[in-house]
Structure formats: structure tokens, C-alpha cells
Amino acid sequence: MKIANKLGAEFIGTFWLVLGGCGSAVLAAAFPEVGIGLVGVSFAFGLTVLTMVYAVGHISGAHFNPAVSVGLWAGGRFSAADLVPYIIVQVAGAIVAAGVLYFIASGKVGFELSSGLASNGYGEHSPGGYSLAAGLVTEIVMTFMFLMIIFGATDVRAPKGFAGLAIGLGLTLINLISIPVTNTSVNPARSTGPAVFVGDWALAQLWLFWVAPVVGALLAGIVYRWLGGEATRRQ
């Protein structure tokens, strides 16, 4: 597969993840009487990944997340030559999706960008008021576990055809656990998209949502490379 095709798939997949996940939080989470709430938003994020794994995973590997690309590289599953291009298009897809979401959301009277556009945060910008340290540990651990799920589900020894389900449901579980702490990132692109439009505090706190997921992903790559032995990703 040509690199242009892979990058196009990554752009579309990340676009859908941010539009579907953040869009559910901004547009539907607290909609009068039929709001989907935390559980609904968690499933929305999981469903975006699940659907795109099956839609374009055979083209690009379905990363949709700079931390996933870094983790797969650390685990020996991804070429270093493609790492930077993947990250660039993932971030671009997230920013475009956040722009589309902003346009849609601003069509409602009373919408205020200061509400965050589903941005990630800690301290006073954490949904549950959790500290920077709590947010840092949460994002490292959740990203670590997300990558462990990805590594295991795509191992040549794993049951075939179920990787998308495991990965999508894994992300759903992660959101169910950590939305109250940081609004759940585990994905630097997902965090960057909304932060670009919100600016201010969202950009000031964005560093954590790059550092922590990348650290968690690197650790997972190292651990699974040891744990899984010489097995490679299913082609």
C-alpha cells in the first residue's frame, strides 16, 4: 500500500474519532431529556475506533493516534520512517474535525467556546476536579493499557477478526474510567484538535496530553515486546 493511501486513511480515521467522540460530548451528552451522558460518550469514542478499524484498518493499520503510532514503533510493529508523517496527518485530521464540530456547535444560540469543546484538562478544568498528578498517572496508565490491548488483539496468535471489537471496547472502558479525571485523552491528536480552537487554558494544559500518552505507549511497546516474544502484527 502506498504511503499516500495510508496517510489518507489515518486522516479520515482520526477525523471520525474526534468528530464522533468529541461531537457526542458537545452535542449529545446533556441534550434535554435524551442526553447520552458519560456512558454514551464513552461508547461513542469506542464506536468511532471500532468502525474505522474495520473500514480502513487494512489500509493504514488503524492508528488514529500519535501515541499508538509511537507505541507500535517501540514494540517493533511500525516503521520509524512513517512515524512523523502518520503523526502529522493524525493531528491534521483532529484539527479539521474540531473545526467542523465548532461550526456545528456554534449554530445553537447560547453556545460558548469557553465550555471547552470537549477539551482535556486537569485541576479546575478536570470534569471531576482532579489534580495534575492524578491526570498524569491516569493518562499514562490508560494509554499503557490501551496499547497492551492493541498489541494483544493484533498478535498473530490472537483470534482472527476480533481486533476491532477488542480495541473499540477497550477504548470505551478507558473512557468510562477516566472521563471524570481528564475527560479522557490517551490520544494527543484528540486533545490537540479541540485545544486549537479553545486556546487559553486548553493549550496551556495540552503538554500533559502529549507527554503522558507517549510515555504510556512507549512503556507498553517495551513491555509487550518482552511479553509477546517474537510474534508480529497480523498482516
Using pLDDT thresholds of 50, 70 and 90, give the confidence band for residue 33.
low
Residue type, 144: F
CATH code of 3-227, in short, is 1.20.1080.10
pTM of the entire predicted model: 0.94
Segment 86-121, tens digit of pLDDT: 999 999 999 999 999 999 999 988 888 877 799 999
DSSP 114: G
Query: Of 67, 102, 100, which Cα lies nearest the Cα of 83?
Result: 67
- Give the Cα-Cα-Cα angle 175, 62, 1 (nearest 5 degrees): 175
Is residue 234 over pLDDT 50?
Answer: no
Segment 127-180, tens digit of pLDDT: 999 999 999 999 999 999 999 999 999 999 988 889 999 999 999 999 999 999
% of residues, the chain, pLDDT over 90: 86
Mean pLDDT, all residues of the chain: 93
User: How do the domains of the chain map onto residue ranges?
Assistant: 3-227
Cα distance between residue 171 and residue 165, in whole Å: 10
Cα distance between residue 198 and residue 215, in whole Å: 25
Cα distance between residue 154 and residue 143, in whole Å: 16
Higher pLDDT, 186 or 234: 186
Cα distance between residue 28 and residue 36, in whole Å: 6
- In total, the chain counts a number of residues equal to 235
